[in-house]
């Protein structure tokens, strides 16, 4: 949610930002916000005048009663009563206008970065940098489910019977590898100075509407029937929600946190063969990083955060690249975002394994996350980034470390988390 002052002072900037995101249907929201804001402020001014008048008239009544001017005092009392009735009406109207204005403001996208390329979809994202040389071995690399099954590591058919499409069982050394990567990612981030957290895996609706746009919520979240609770789609949701309606000590900023959680997503729509298996699923686990900082620090933290993910993948000997997300690919709360993509030797192309985003103060405004300043308080900036999400990472790992004999090599950094295993062999 952007500052209403920006819409008052530079509405054309806001309109141009909407056009850059190819959301022209939202252009009328700018005029609607201006109109609602003007009406709300007019009511506020009228209410303030009535409150000031009430105080003055109350003193006048006391003076008239002391002077035994009862009739005149009754007339003033009648005026106070009329003012009180109008004030009550104003407060109700003001509350209604405030709710309508907030809903409109929450639908207007955040201002995007000057570095963000203009484009309609992820097809127009711009490659920034590559890390490690991608390789294609001389032998054929099977589909990732086939690799897992040969290693005795996955059971999709049983998961379909117990849970439906989009679920899986991981078993044996592959399940151990999955957990090893998460444990390594946890320790990697702790080594970068981040505090490790395990958050709640369910959150209330006011947190959901604070951390994401309405469109994202509808397309992602699972609601618990009969309760005001949703399953989280990423630990960012409950991690940021932890600080809602709080004013943080500026001396303790930045807050640098890394969190583990299972994640639950609807993942609607049909997908190709490469996105079946364990690529696009309803339940997975993830290590996330969250930063809450002063506005002047957020751009520097944004660069650090995606670089940490790249460093992690490179340490596991997986080639990756970064893509600058274009305007049409940015969710409404995002100022800037970069995707980290891993190399797929099977497909001979890169695929997304993580995303880093700077939301400036848009998320903090929705949730009321502030920090103390010399002049009172200001909204903090929030950032989030995927450290690693093993299902997709596991695909990249298996393809990049598969050997001609069907075994999978384990890089040295992961061996302590695998009980010293140097490879996984077919069962």
**DSSP letter (8 states) at residue 296:** G
- What are 104-155's pLDDT values in tens digits? 999 999 999 999 999 999 999 999 999 999 999 999 999 999 999 999 999 9
Report the alpha-carbon distance of residue 357 to residue 290 in Å, rounded. 10
The DSSP bridge pattern shows strands 349-358 and 381-388 to be antiparallel
- Partnered with residue 371 across adjacent β-strands are 248, 378
User: What is the β-pairing status of strands 320-324 and 408-409?
Assistant: unpaired
> What is the rounded CA–CA span in Å between residue 201 and residue 228?
13
**Confidence (pLDDT) at 269:** 53
Q: What is the pLDDT of residue 143?
A: 92
- How confident is the model at residue 281, as a pLDDT? 86
* pLDDT (0 to 100) of residue 273: 40
Residues in a beta bridge with 155: 169
Domains in the chain: ranges and CATH? 4-105 (1.10.287.40), 122-424 (3.30.930.10)
Residue stretches of the chain with pLDDT short of 50: 270-274
Asked whether the bond before 254 is cis by omega within 30 degrees of 0, the reply is yes
Q: How far apart are CA 17 and CA 113, in angstroms?
A: 10
Residues of the chain by 3-state class (helix, strand, coil), percent to 5: 50, 20, 30
Q: What is the DSSP letter of 212?
A: S
Cα separation of 105 and 25, whole Å? 14
Beta carbons within 10 angstroms of residue 95's beta carbon: 12
What is the Cα Rg of the chain in Å? 28
Q: Rounded to two decimals, what is the model's pTM?
A: 0.88
**Locus of tokens 């003076």:** 63
Cα–Cα distances in angstroms (integers) from residue 211 to residues 280, 281, 341, in the given order: 22, 22, 24
What per-residue confidence (pLDDT) applies to 252? 94
- Closest to 306 measured CA to CA, from 278, 275, 276, 336: 336
């Amino acid at each position: 949610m952007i500052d209403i002052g920006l819409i008052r002072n530079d509405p054309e900037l806001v309109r141009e930002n909407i056009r850059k995101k190819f959301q022209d249907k939202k252009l009328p929201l700018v005029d609607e916000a201006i109109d609602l804001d003007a009406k709300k402020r007019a009511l506020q001014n009228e209410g303030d005048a009535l409150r000031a008048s009430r105080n003055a008239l109350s003193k006048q009544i006391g003076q008239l009663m002391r002077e035994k001017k009862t009739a005149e005092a009754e007339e003033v009392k009648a005026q106070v009563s009329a003012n009180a009735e109008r004030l009550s009406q104003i407060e109700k109207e003001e509350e209604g206008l405030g709710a309508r204005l907030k809903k409109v403001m929450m639908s207007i996208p955040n201002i995007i970065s000057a570095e963000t390329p203009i484009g309609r979809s992820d097809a127009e994202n711009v490659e920034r940098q590559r890390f490690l040389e991608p390789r294609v071995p001389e032998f054929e690399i099977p589909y990732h489910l086939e690799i897992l099954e040969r290693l005795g590591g996955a059971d999709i058919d049983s998961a379909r019977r117990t849970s439906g499409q989009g679920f899986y069982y991981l078993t044996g050394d592959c399940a151990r590898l999955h957990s090893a990567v998460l444990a390594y990612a946890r320790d990697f981030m702790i080594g970068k100075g981040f505090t490790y957290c395990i958050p709640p895996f369910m959150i209330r609706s006011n947190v959901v509407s604070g951390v994401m746009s309405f469109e994202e919520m509808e397309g992602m979240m699972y609601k618990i029937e009969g309760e005001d609770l949703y399953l989280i789609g990423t630990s960012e949701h409950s991690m940021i929600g932890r600080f809602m309606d709080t004013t943080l000590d500026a001396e303790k900023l930045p807050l640098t946190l890394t969190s583990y959680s299972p994640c639950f997503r609807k993942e609607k729509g049909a997908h190709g063969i490469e996105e079946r298996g364990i690529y696009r699923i309803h339940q997975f686990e993830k290590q996330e990083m969250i930063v809450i900082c002063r506005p002047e620090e957020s751009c520097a933290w944004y660069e650090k955060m995606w670089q940490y993910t790249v460093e992690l993948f490179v340490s596991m000997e997986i080639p990756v690249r970064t893509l600058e997300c274009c305007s049409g690919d940015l969710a409404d709360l995002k100022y800037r975002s970069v995707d980290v993509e891993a190399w797929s030797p099977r497909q001979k192309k890169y695929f997304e394994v993580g995303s880093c985003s700077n939301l400036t103060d848009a998320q903090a405004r929705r949730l009321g996350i502030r920090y103390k300043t010399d002049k009172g308080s200001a909204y903090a900036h929030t950032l989030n980034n995927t450290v690693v999400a093993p299902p997709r990472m596991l695909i990249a790992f298996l393809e990049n470390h598969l050997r001609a004999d069907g075994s999978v090599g384990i890089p040295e950094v992961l061996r302590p988390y695998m009980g010293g295993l140097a490879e996984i062999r077919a069962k």
